[in-house]
Amino acid sequence: MIQPGISARVPDLAREHKSAFSWQPSRSLLASIRAYQRNCGSRNPLQILVRTFAVLRHRFWSVVTGADIPINTRIGGGLLLPHPSGVVIHPDVEIGPNCLIFQQVTIGSCNDGVPRIGGHVDIGAGAKILGPIAIGDHARIGANAVVLRDIPHGKTAVGIPAVIIHA
> Which pLDDT tens digits describe the chain residue by residue (167 residues)?
555 678 888 888 888 888 888 899 999 999 999 999 999 888 899 999 999 999 999 999 999 999 999 999 999 999 999 999 999 999 999 999 999 999 999 999 888 899 999 999 999 999 999 999 999 999 999 999 999 999 999 999 999 999 999 76
Beta bridge partners of 140: 122, 156
Q: Clarify whether residues 75 and 148 are in a common domain.
A: yes
Query: For residue 160, what is the domain's CATH number?
Result: 2.160.10.10
Q: Which of 35, 65, 95 is the last residue of a domain?
A: 65
CA-based nearest residue to 101, from 113, 115, 110: 115
- 77/32 same-domain check: no
Position 77 in a domain: yes
Question: Given this model, what pLDDT does residue 21 score?
Answer: 85
- 81, 29 contact by CB (below 8 A): yes
DSSP string, 44-91: -HHHHHHHHHHHHHHHHHHHHHT-B--TT-EE-SS-B-SS-TT-EE-T
CA distance 160 to 162: 5
d(CA 104, CA 86) in angstroms, rounded, equals: 4
Q: CA 92, CA 112: separation in Å to the nearest integer?
A: 12
